[in-house]
Amino acid sequence: MIGRLSGRVVSDDASGELIVDVDGVGYEVTTPVGARGRAESTAPEQITLFVHTHVRQDTLCLYGFASEDERRVFRLLIAAPNVGPKTALGVLSALPIEDLALAVQNEDVSRLTRVPGIGKKTAERLVLELREKLPKLASPAPGTAARPPGAPDDARKLVFALTNMGYRPADAERAVRSLGDRVGRASLSDLLREAIRQLTP
């Protein structure tokens, strides 16, 4: 089983499908939206992903994550009834793991049902299955600064808007990261204009 990949990204698209070249071998890896921007990178186009190898009948798929925590939560999600890899990726694309943990801890079914592919019954099942397993992820680690309210959602909206305008996902993610702690504080329209300025030669 493949557990980790470090290599050069030679292809990506807005849906999170990457081809990672590792010593001349190209691995097709499916990731949550934004994982490439969050993943460890030692040089442009280089990336390290934590991988879950999913084997089902005659199909073998690789799912990649920016951190061990993301992979662990993915595995918890697909262990829940009626949650497959596609739905689990949708959850991690829509919710940072801290926000997912808070939604589960608070039994916020309405928040979970806003994720594509998650109905009320599945959301209730996730709360039941995960509420004992995720609470420690609900709070930032000691010594880390609290994120501005709405920052993760705003960052995702900005990346989505930029990719819809034709910018490559990796470039969009870099531009949004460069905005720093203004994300979640400044208006989305101002942030979008600033990101576009940075992306314009």
Neighbour-count burial of 43, counting CB atoms closer than 10 A to its CB (0-12 exposed, 13-18 middle, 19+ buried): exposed
Residue pLDDT, tens place only, 51-104: 999 988 778 899 999 999 999 999 999 998 889 999 999 999 888 888 898 889
Domains of the chain and CATH, by start:
4-65 (2.40.50.140), 68-137 (1.10.150.20), 151-199 (1.10.8)
CB 71 within 8 A of CB 65: yes
pLDDT given for residue 150 in this prediction? 57
Q: What is the DSSP string of 14-68?
A: TTSEEEEEETTEEEEEE--TTHHHHSB-SSTTEEEEEEEEEEETTEEEEEEESSH
Q: How confident is the model at residue 145 (pLDDT cuts 50, 70, 90)?
A: very low
- Quick check: 170 pLDDT over 80? no
pTM recorded for the entire structure: 0.69
